[in-house]
Every structure is written in C-alpha cells, then in structure tokens.
Structure 1
C-alpha cells in the first residue's frame, strides 16, 4: 500500500483519488479552500440555486466508468441524469431561431433545413461525418491514453479530413475551424453554430485547428446532459464516492511546496511547515502553481509539451426572476453575437471595438433551484478575456444580449449576481481565472496539454491543465490516466 498525497479537490483529482483508493492505496487530499469540486461550484441565495461552473456536460460514460470501477452503486443511483432535449436553441444575429434535437442527426438536419433553407442540414450533417472521422482518429491518443512520448506526431498531423477548396486557381485545405465553416458550410449562421462550440471553451475559431470540429461532434454523438439539482450534484457524488473508499480530505490546507528525497517526490509541505510524507504526489493545480510549489524549478523538461498559456476565462451572471419558467422554454439557448469579428478580437485581447459576446442562457426545469414554482433561476455565461474589463459593465452587456432570448427579462428581474474570472481564480488557483480547453491535435502542439507524468519520479499531474485538458469529461479521464500510471506503471496504455 502506497501513501499518496493529492493537491487539490477538483474533479480530476477526486476521480484519481477514488480509483487509487480502490487499488488499495492510502490517499489524502489537501485542498486550500473549504470545499471540493474545483470550478464545479454552486451558489445559493434567497432560495435560488445556481451552477457557477459547467452547467451541462457530455460524455457521461467517463463518470459511469468511474462509478463502476470504484463501487457497487452505478452513477445513476447516485445522481439523476437528464438528457436535455432540445440540445440547444439558437438565436442568430439576424433573428433566425432554430432548436436542435438531442443526439438525432435526422432531427437536426430537418430543423436546419426548415430554419436556414434547403441544403443547410445536409451540409451540417456532412461536416459531422468528417468530424466523426477526426474523432475516431483522436479519441484514443487524446482522451483515453497517456500522452505519447512522441507527441510531436499529434502536433504535426491534422486529423480532420482534407476537403480541398479552390481559391484563385489554387487548391487549399482548411487549417482552422473558421476555414472549415467558411468553405464547407458556406452559410454564416451555420458557421456561427459551428464556432459556438469552440467559443464555449474560449477558443478563437480563426486560430483553432480544424479538428476543433470534434467539439460539435461530441455533443451531437453523445448528447447533452444535466444533473438534477445542478452540476454540483455530480461533484458531491464523486466526493462521497471518495469518502466511501476511505479517501481522507483535509480542507483549508494549502500546500506551499513539494517535498523531494533522492530526486523523487516524497510528499507535500503545508503552510504551517509540516510535511506530509508520501510515496506519490498527484497535483491538480495549474502549471504555474506547480512550478512555484517546486520552488521555482519547472517540472517539465525540454522536449516535453509546454504548458498552455492562460487564455480566456468565463463570466457568469446569475439571475433570480419572478414568475415561473414558461412551458416549452429551452434548457439552453445560445444567443449569437451580432459582430463576430469584434467579439473574437476582444476575446483575443484586442482592445478595439467593444462587442457583445455570444451568450449561453441556461434555464433548467429544476424545482431544486428555485424557492417555488412562481420563480425562475437563469444563468448567463460568456467567454471573456482573462485580464481586463469591468465585470459589472460586462454583466450588463450579457443581460442585454439575453433579452433576445427572454424578452421580459428585465421586468421579471429580482436581482442578479456576477461570478467573475477573479472568483474562478480564487476557486481553482488558475492564473487570472483562465479556463482550460480540451486538448486538440495539430497546430504545432500548441493545443496539447502536458503529460500526466513529469520528469520528477513519483509526481503526476491531473485536471484540466494537464492531458487531456479541460471540460468535465476530460478532467474525469485525466483521473483515470493518472491512476493507471501509478497502479500499472509506465507500461500503462490507457483506458479500455
């Protein structure tokens, strides 16, 4: 039985802790804040409840596997999973609206043809077929296996199928998601639909590689899911599974340094100077924090995937509304920006024209989130630059955009509260509250995340800032990969 110290109680860290405990190890989690879940938090006020982190997720199989491998009770006995239908409702810049059924290709094709014109659905369906091919090429190396030692192969190869485009008598192949939309969809509203999946992770489609199209495919293929009571319930279930497997949690315990002995990770040092000895250390913190804990010495060596620079963050506005949720209201509505280029310039740090962002409006049909049937809990989210900007002004901007989805919003508004990038930084420790995107191939490796193993023996990394990147499903997979590397050793080849 090995002693394992886990830094942080985020979703990836808890997923690793539960699996390691089941394997017979003594696991202690040290969390500097007073609770678990990382960015998966919940705010309660006046009988209203809100998710301040992810509001929906895809790939529930990742957490079904976690619960299958760590106990008798399956995931569905610990939380109530709800498949959201329609998957999303879209309000485009010109006022066009369309609702997309959940995980139904024929339904989506029909809906797009009706709303956007004949042929729109076919073009979207053809794109999903190509995205599926890219997913099949990427699924194992970028989700289910430890990062390859020869990761450069993934950095050089674009897995999205080449669809030549002739321009000025020259044949070109799309290298970015924006080019995929412009050349294959040839319809600005369809392009906005595609790009919204990248924007949800703060990715600029003008620079994101073409294989970012898999983000749309994953939602289409595996559905969009909600946990009754809010996504915080998923974090609670994982935490309780850890407790059932005898994982120990120490809250309010900030790790200030890594302990090392004979060139190997040997535990963690806490703020009071005590050292908790361990045979392995699993760090669920951002790369900058981990290097600082390593007394300023980078834990990554030359030739390894460099840590991604902190990019976009997320602004969330929590709305308490008088009046019940209308019948037929979509759980998720995406209100697309009226000035796409200005939005992307602002997101990438260009301080030029101010632009209203693409806003996701979440209206869960969930009695647990409201004081009674005469009120509604609504959450607005948008990707924003990690640095700069006035949160209050941005929040007002989001509310104005959301009126396109909820026309009587201001008349019904009792109060609102803003969850800012600074709040995310406090909860997760990530620089400027940056939100990590999932790993993607190509683009010279700039979209990959560092391997879960490090050049310090016994030190492993987990969570959104290490392979396979951000998002609930990817965080859960990082926990499975770290547990496999510790239990089975360097010959571990990935989840089966």
Structure 2
C-alpha cells in the first residue's frame, strides 16, 4: 500500500483518487481552493442556479465505468441522467434553423433534409460514416491507452478517410475541418455545423486536422446528457465516492513544490513550508505541457482559448418544447475566426453563442422564472468589457426573442474567473487530444521524466473535456497500480 499525494481536486484528479483508493492506496488530495470539481462549479443567487463550467455531458460511459469499478453500483444510483433531445437546435447565419435529434443518424438526416433541403442530410450522414472510421482508428490510442513512445505514428497519420476531390486538374483530399466542409459537405450551414464542434473547444477549423471529425461523431453516437440539478451534481457524486473510499481531502492547501530525491518524486511542500511525504505524486498538467510544479505565475500563451459565460435570471416561464441547447452561429464566420486566431487575438464582436436553457426546476425559484446560460469562446487572458457581454445577449436574442426584456439580472464569468478557480494561466481551456497535425493537438503523456510523478487532467493526455478528464484519471491509476506494463482499459 503506497501513500499518494494528489495535487488539485479537478475531475481528473478525483477520478484518479477514487480508483487508486479502491486499489488499496492511501490517497490525500491537496486543493488550494475551498472546494472540489475544478471548472465544474455552480453559481447560486435568489433561488437561481447555474453551471459555470461544462453544461452537458458527452460519453457518460466514462463515469458509469468509474462508479462500477469503485463501488459496484451504477452512476444513475447517485445522479439522475437525462438524455437531451433534441441534441441541439442550430440557428445559422442566413436565419435557417434545424433541431437535431439525439443519437439518431436517420433522424438527423431527415431533419437536415427538411430544414436545409436535399441532399444536405445525406451528405452529413455520409460524413458521419467516415467520421466513425476515424473514431475506430483512434479511439484506443487517443482515449483508452497511455501515450506511448511511438506517439509519432498518431501525429503523422491522418485517420479521417477524406473523399478525393478534383481541383485544377489535381486530386486532393481534405486535411482540415474547413476543407471537409468546403469539399465534402458543400453547404455553408453544414460547414458551420461541423466547424462549431471544433470552435466549442477553441480550435481554429482552418488548421484543425480532419481527424477532429470524431468530435461530432462522439455526440452523434453516444448522445448528449444532462445531470438533473446541474453538472455540479456529477462533481458532488464523484467527491462523495472518494470520501466513501477514504480519500483524505485537505482544502486551502496550496502545493508550492514537488519534492524529488534521486530522480524520484517523494512528496510535496505546502505554502506554509510543511512537507508531506508520498510514494507517488499526481499533479495537474499545465498549458506549458509540464507538470504543475507551482513554480511561479505563468503568462497566458497566445492562441489558447478561454470562455466568456453570461448567466441570466429571467422573468417568465420557459416555453414548452424549448430546446435545452441552441447554437447561434456567427453571421461573420471569417471575422470571428480572425478575431480569435489572428495575429492579434481579440474578443469577437459577432461571436458564435451557445444558449443553454435546462428547464430544470431545481435551478429556478419557481415556474414563473427561467435560468439561461450564454457561452462563447474568447482568447485566454482577454479583458471583458460591458460591450462584449451585450454582444452575447444580442446574438442570443436571435434564438430567444425578447430576451433582453426578460432579464432580472445577469452575472458574468470571465477568463479571469476561470483562472482563479482552476489555476490555468489566463483561464485557458484545453481541447481534447486529436491525431494528425504533426502531434500539435496531442497532450503530454501522463507519465513524466521523474519517476513516481504523473500528470492528470485536461492539460495531460488525453486532453480537455469531462469524459477526457475521467479517462486521464483511469490512465494514471492504471500506470501506478500496474506499472509500465499497463496497456489501458479493455
């Protein structure tokens, strides 16, 4: 039985802690703030409640596996999972709207044909078939296995089977998402639908590899889910599972140094100078791709994304049949991409906005009010002003007519808030790991150059997102429990 120090109480760290404790180890979690969950938090005021981090859960099997492996009970015994249907409503630049059913290829094809005209649905359906092939080729090495020394194979090989495209007497294949949209989907609205999945993670579709087709495929194949009471309930359930397995939590404990001796991690040093010994140390990764050794303030890196979130308390009930999630696509796609990813990143004036309207009685004071969350990608470290918030609300009104007249009050969450809660420089948010692109979108391995030191969470393999955090915790647990012979989940 080993003593294990886990730095931080984000979702990846919590899943690693629970799994390690079940394996018989003594696990202590040191969290610099006063709560758990990392970015999965809640804001409450006047009887309203809002998720301030992820609002939906893709691939719930990751957390179902966690609860079975750490307690032999289903996740549903601890939280109420609700499948979101429609998966999303989309409002495109030309005003066209479509609601896409959850986890139904045939239903999506029909909905797109009816809203956009044939053969839009067939083109998207054919794209999903190719995206599944990319998923099948990358699922294990990208999500279920540690990142091995031969990772360059993932970096060099494009797993998406692009359709040959003749252009100027040359046959070419799409190498980026933007090219997939232009050459294979051939409809600006379908292109917006595709690129929106990358943009949600702060990825520039003009340079993001075609392998990112796995992002919409995951949503199509495994559905989109909501946790009744808000996503914070998932964090609560995982924290309680850790407590049940006798994981010790020390809140308000900032780790300033990871202790090493003879090339091995041997413990941590807290801000007050107190030393805690350990046989293994599990640390969060960082935007620099290094273990978070708390060695000083890190300046935000250019090009990393963050998020602007606006929480709206509204008078008036949520109309019957309202979609849980609506994506309002930018009317100026090129301008938005230039603002976010150009030489001088700035907050877009006409952004793509995601509108979340859960319709959850637990989040409102009564049935005559509604809690709505608006979100948009902004550069990490961006300063947010009132006009940026007003721009989000104005865009959202394309999906929620009369929105501004219903607002009782609003709360704004900026990149600075994310930085304060998660410790990520500039409030940066990591993207999931993706193949191809020379390895640019892979994340550092969970094992490090220091024996006994492992990294977990969004800035480590396999990257950002709630499912990926849970996977990183499983990988770290396997590497510690089984050692270098660990080959991932079966």
**TM-score interval, smaller chain:** over 0.9
Q: CA deviation at 1:73?
A: 2.8
Conserved? CA contact 1:285–1:428, under 8 Å: no
Question: Separation in 2 of the partners of 1:73 and 1:390?
Answer: 44
Q: CA 1:385/1:295 → structure 2, altered by over 3 Å: closer, same or farther?
A: closer
CA distance in 2, matches of 1:338, 1:28: 49
* Alignment correspondent of 2:471: 477
- Who is 2:249 aligned against? 249
- State the distance in 2 between where 1:139 and 1:62 align: 13
Deviations 1:140-187 (A, max 9, x none): 000000002111110000000031111111111111000001100000
Query: Does the alignment pair 1:417 with 2:400?
Result: no
Matched, 1:225 2:218: no
Match of 2:305 in 1: 312
| Partner residue, 1:356 | 350
Segments of structure 2 that go 5 or more residues without pairing to the other structure are none
2:110 is matched with which residue?
110
Give the corresponding residue for 2:5. Answer: 5
Distance in 2 between the 1:221 and 1:410 partners? 36
Tell me if structure 1 keeps the 8 A contact 2:162–2:180.
no
Alignment correspondent of 2:393: 399
- For residue 416 of structure 1, give the secondary structure of its aligned residue in structure 2: strand
Contact 2:289–2:460 (CA<8 Å) still a contact in 1?
no
Q: Who is 1:48 aligned against?
A: 48
Task: State the alpha-carbon separation in 1 of the partners of residues 162 and 285 from structure 2.
Answer: 37
User: Are 1:310 and 1:436, in contact at CA under 8 Å, matched by a contact in 2?
Assistant: no
Structure-2 residue corresponding to 1:325 = 318
| Aligned pairs for 1:249-288 within 5 A | 249-288=249-288
Shift of 1:352: 8.5
Distance in 2, matches of 1:69 and 1:168, equals: 56
Take 1:291 and 1:63, find their aligned partners in 2: how far apart are those partners? 25
CA distance in structure 1 between the aligned counterparts of 2:290 and 2:170, rounded to whole angstroms: 47
SS of the equivalent of 1:489 reads: helix
Tell me the alpha carbon deviations over residues 83-133 of structure 1, each in whole angstroms, 9 at most, x when there is no partner. 000000001011101000000111100000000011100000000000000
Deviation sequence 1:329-381 (CA, Å, 0-9, x none): 00000000000000011111444895311100000010000000000000000
Residue 203 of structure 1: how far off its partner (Å): 0.5
Give yes or no for contact 1:392–1:418 (8 Å, CA) kept in 2: no
Name the residue aligned to 2:166: 166
Deviation, 1:293, is 1.9
- How far off its partner does 1:390 sit? 2.7
Assess if the C-alpha contact under 8 Å between 1:310 and 1:434 holds in 2. Answer: no
Deviation (angstroms), 1:415 = 0.6
Q: TM-score, normalised by structure 1?
A: 0.96
- Residue 457 (structure 1) shift: 0.1
1:130-145 pair list within 5 angstroms: 130-145=130-145
In structure 2, relative to structure 1, the CA distance for the partners of 1:112 and 1:289 (3 Å cut) is closer
Partner of 1:300: none
Trace 1:327-342 onto structure 2 (pairs within 5 A): 327-342=320-335
Q: Cα RMSD over matched residues?
A: 1.7
The answer as to whether partners of 1:7 and 1:285 remain within 8 angstroms in 2 is: no
The count of corresponding residues between Structure 1 and Structure 2 is 487
Are the aligned partners of 2:130 and 2:162 in contact in 1 as well (CA < 8 Å)? no
1:198 pairs with 2:198: yes
SS in 2 for 1:343: helix
**Quick one: distance in 2 between partners of 1:21 and 1:395?**
44
Task: Establish whether residue 408 from structure 1 lines up as the match of residue 402 from structure 2.
Answer: yes
1:412-457 deviations in whole A, cap 9, x for unaligned?
A: 1001110000111111111100100000001011000000000000
Of 345-354 and 454-463, the range deviating more from structure 2 = 345-354
Decide whether the 8 Å contact of 1:3 with 1:25 is kept in 2: yes
TM value normalised by structure 2: 0.97
Structure 1 position 392, deviation (Å): 2.5
Segments of 4+ in structure 1 off by > 4 A?
A: 287-292, 349-354
Measured at CA, do residues 295 and 88 of structure 1 come closer, stay the same or move farther in structure 2, by a change above 3 Å?
closer
